[in-house]
Structure 1
């Protein structure tokens, strides 16, 4: 059906207008937008299409603020554009989500360490430490259960995520974002011990909960992260950027693409596309001395992110300067 059917005319005044459905609110109620007073049908139709595009663009911005990656947003955009084109026979006319996460702001190592020091006495410090050591996604952190921790092996198995669904802002347990998200993470001894203490004191099967012992909500995790970040004097960029911090620093330290992708639960090709050029640019900016360090690291025997290497990964982010 053509979107010209959305334009209506006030027979009394002779002016044109439209009604645009904005979806549903958290309470499940519809949120329509009505505009009227246009002199011609063409003017009303132009504004209708602009409003539709702006509505989708604002939705993309909100999803990115909530922690969704630009890969997810671009996939959503492709599906939406195709469905819209098949339904109406025209282009939606909106700006695409940015192709690369290179423009996303990311903490420096100094900021990450300052944050870790500030939250050391926080009730959720084991979760913050785990985030900084592994780069787990918000939903993955919230979906962790006490049984996912293997103390004898010092490992944590990532099996699920918790997502927020509308209407009603309900929580739903789902498999990880992709097949690569199903993974076993080797942890350093300190992180393992802290998570073990956390699991022993829980009155529920979930490892991280709110004050009512319900699973932590992904949409509230960002605020819980940004509030102490502001108090620590670092930029409140949200938890998702920690994944980019870990990826870029591990790659720059000499870890292989497949090793880092396995750690983060990413596809290796996606990781290479987003981070390889960034790492190369950083090394060029570092000057001639950086190439010697890089060569020396490349001479090390290949290693996976297991065993003692997991401790090196944690120390890379959490150690104090010097």
Structure 2
């Protein structure tokens, strides 16, 4: 006996990836519903590579009663209305938006990092999926924190345009084409030209000069991993279609060598260490596309601080940063709380 699973926002980049991963991982679902806004009603989306097509249902009229899990990839506005409705009807919501991440009554989960926190889901029947840049970072940090206790992290991100949705991907494609054929380049989704450029600005600016994306990395890391860790982030949009990269400088309380860190990361859940000190002996975003791992490369000691390390990590932001993590949460929920059969 399997679960009844609704994927909300099924026609978007992340929603489609959720459907792919549910099928790929053979999630034990007896029934899958593809749910989206009224604009998409009647269209069909594919359930992974199964050849099975799902007709999209209208979120406005969808009854979540009797459904076990709803994987929301619909954005904060729709989630604010429909996630509490689903939760009140007995369906456990796993939400990919930022809406509930810092709610003290909502667990914020990366299964490789803090699986035990899921036990608090019953307070609101909602579980939050972290920001894509946070998710891959804490997967890399967790095993190192367990070994030597992290004091401070300074991170610069190189985030792909898919983090801004289909509109971001379309803009990079259209601007790149325009440059090659000498057409005007007009920014619409982004604040400046993204093709052949980088933009040190993701989400809105806050009063202290940081952006909301940078703030998310700070507060989410504290909630998921350890409230005592200090984090400084600079988040940058780069002209890459899929795959977020991060350069991390980490300061520890206790001594840890690069070699020790490599040994730890080699065995860590969710991490793939690719760290050869030679040309091409590291992972770039294009190589991480379609994979669920957080790839770590360039592990080395940072001599500018006591007990310091520097490293590079890369992950497919549509998978580990969003869809895969959500499905892993659903799997964890099933193992710990919603056992069937």
- Does TM, scored on the shorter chain, surpass 0.5? no
More strand by share: 2
TM-score (norm 1): 0.27
Q: Which protein has the larger Cα radius of gyration, Structure 1 or Structure 2?
A: 1
TM-score (norm 2): 0.26
More helix by share: 1
